[in-house]
Amino acid sequence: MNRSAWGGVGFTLPALLWILLFFIGPVLLMVAASLHPLTAAGVPSPQWGLGAYRAFFSQPAYVQALIDSVVTTIVVTVLSTVISYPFAWSIACVVPARWQRLALIMAILPFWTSYVVRSYAWLLAISPVGLVNKALLALHLIHRPLMLAYNPHATELGFVHFFLMLNTLTIYASLKQINPRYELAARDLGASSWRAFFGITLPLSMPGVATGAFLTIVLTIGDYVTPQILGGFRQLLLPQLIMMQIQRQLDLASASAMSLILTAIVALAYLGLQRWLRLSRL
């Protein structure tokens, strides 16, 4: 290595050390903690063992929470992508160029409401005495308030609202990077506008779709606030179980094991979407 290379390493070193010391190190400690399951006395066992993982997979309620978490994440990811794509496309291709920036800013403005407050605001909107029910009653569309809050669909609603904004942003950015001449060329060669869209525009916008989808998966599967406020208690998701391990059982070994299982699912999603992902170009 020449002198210049060492200089470059010097500049990147503080950031690398920070990640190593405060992210990779702690995660390795978590792995170690998860391999020392609690004994009957409630202290970490001195022996290494897979007890925490075995306990997780032998509890039907825990496995159900894992399945529910994965299903919720898939539903939320698919819905937010499908709803946001036409929205982003409309902003990029229908709205006149000079208004696009404003249209996009408006589309992601509520993104900046406080994270905890956003779920609370949805709770207010869809509660039996909330604005949505009051409006539907006033319009005589319903006769009794609908029970919209405190169920798994309310959780999905809260998530889809948030990720609709995020995906609109990533898909819009991807659509704007496509050279419009490609589609014109396809049209000149006789493709219908549908064929040009599905043959040219859609494949070229996949990086935006995949980036948005991946962020949706990461942030949905690890979220505790939205299901806790909107979801009610009939269905618990994995992060809620993890919190219960920490707060009620004081069982860091199980909580670590569950967090690592959750991370393994995120890693699978990453591998699946990898060929399109452009995380550094957000």
Q: Which of residues 69-128 bind other proteins (CB under 8 A)?
A: 83, 86-87, 89-91, 94-95, 103, 105-107, 109-110, 112-118, 120-122, 124-125, 127
Give alpha helix (H) positions in the chain. 3-19, 25-34, 51-58, 60-93, 97-108, 115-126, 131-138, 152-176, 180-188, 193-196, 202-204, 206-221, 225-230, 238-247, 252-273
User: What does the alpha-carbon distance between residue 17 and residue 22 come to, in Å, rounded to a whole number?
Assistant: 8
Q: Residue 111 gets which letter from DSSP?
A: G
Cα distance between residue 190 and residue 53, in whole Å:
58
User: Is position 204 an interface residue for other proteins (rule: CB under 8 A)?
Assistant: no
> Pick from 178, 202, 244, 270: which binds other proteins (CB under 8 A)?
270
Regarding 8 and contact with other proteins (CB under 8 A), the answer is: yes
| Shortest separation between residue 44's beta carbon and other proteins, angstroms | 10
Cβ distance 106 to 122 under 8 Å? no
Rule CB under 8 A: is residue 10 a binding residue for other proteins?
Answer: yes
Q: Which amino acid is at 204?
A: L
In the complex, the smallest distance separating the C-beta of residue 172 from other proteins, rounded to whole angstroms, is 12
Q: Interface residues for other proteins in 18-47 (CB under 8 A)? A: 18-20, 22-27, 29-30, 33
When the beta carbons of 30 and 200 are compared against other proteins, the nearer one is 30
Sequence-ordered list of residues with C-beta below 8 angstroms from that of 92, at least 6 positions apart, any chain: 100, 172, 175, 176
Q: How far is the CB of 92 from other proteins (least distance, A)?
A: 11
Least distance between other proteins and beta carbon 60 (Å): 23
Q: How far is the CB of 179 from other proteins (least distance, A)?
A: 19
Told to check if 276 binds other proteins by CB under 8 A, we report no
Taking a C-beta distance cutoff of 8 angstroms, is the pair 226, 83 a contact?
A: no
With CB under 8 A as the rule, give the number of residues binding other proteins: 84
Selected binder of other proteins within 79, 166, 209, 252 (CB under 8 A): 252
* Residue 216 Cβ vs other proteins, minimum distance, rounded to whole Å: 12
CA distance 267 to 84: 24
- Say how many CA atoms lie within 13 Å of 32 toward its Cβ: 7
The residue from 53, 161, 166, 174 that contacts other proteins (CB under 8 A) is 161
Write down the least CB distance from residue 175 to other proteins, Å. 13
Whether the Cβ atoms of residue 277 and residue 207 lie closer than 8 Å to each other: yes
Q: CA angle, 56 as apex, 71 and 242 as ends, to 5°?
A: 70
Q: Is 164 in the site for other proteins (CB under 8 A)?
A: yes
User: Of 12-20, 142-150, 180-188, 197-205, which segment contacts other proteins by CB under 8 A?
Assistant: 12-20
* SS3 of residue 18 by DSSP: helix
Is residue 52 a contact residue for other proteins (CB under 8 A)?
no
Among 204, 263, 272, 276, binds other proteins (CB under 8 A): 263
